[in-house]
Structure 1
Amino acid sequence: MSDWIDSFYADVDAQLTERVLDRFTTDGELVFGNNPPAIGRDAIREVLENLRAALSGMRHEWCNRWTVDQKTLVLEARVHYTTRGGTEVVLPCATVVDRDSSGLITSLRIHIDAAPLFAALDAESVTAQPESVASHEVSG
């Protein structure tokens, strides 16, 4: 199971959306923090692409990994997110992964307080706005 986790999260950390999606059933579910579930590959793709657009990188630092049975994993990590502006936000996280008999993910539930990450993204967004307004005023 450890090889599967390492391989899957190498794709997650590299933000390889299609390779991550290939690990889900067609009606798989992804829940990130307190956001509504993304159900199905198209909805999951949208979540992953939005995250990829906001980040220049991420890395999972494993604290604990438990195999409940051949279908369920519980993972504890510190996730290092790097925003496009270069801010690193490290958040504790617990994830529950359920897989079907073929090994595809039916449900991946990420229990995380993402508020610090969104605050960093918002701060970068606010910081970037005055520059664009200033350059517009100069040219306008």
Structure 2
Amino acid sequence: MEDLEYSFRTPASAASLFDAVSTEAGHRAWWAMDCDVGATVGAPCVMRFNKDGTLVTMKFRVDELVNNERVRWTCTDNDNPAWKGSTLTWHIESTGDERRLRLVHGGLALGGPPYEMTKAGWRRFLDSLQGYVEGRGGDPMPGMPAT
């Protein structure tokens, strides 16, 4: 098991960062356009997106919500087996006029294509998140087309 860590610094407010990583509207703007995000500890979250014509579903449980400081989820089910049981923790740290958002993906199963895909995916999505909170717009994954 390994922890992946990514971060960026931004002039965006701690409240903007917290909303982006703790609300359905936030996640729809930078991660997955089709999602359900629980707003309380213990609530479920589901991310759904279209990856090359295949529906990808990721399920989580909200474990911690500390206003403007930290959000932590546990992955309860995922099409990528490397994720099951892993945690996502978004830390928001304020220093002077800027904030640092740090994502720790903890307990990720090592090796192989699922692991490499996760590393590449987080680089993409953290760029999307930063663009969203800085007003340049995010680049979330689309949902499946309606049938």
Q: TM-score, normalised by structure 2?
A: 0.34
Question: Which protein has greater RCO, CA pairs closer than 8 Å, 6+ apart?
Answer: 2
Structure with higher helix content: 1
Q: TM-score, normalised by structure 1?
A: 0.35
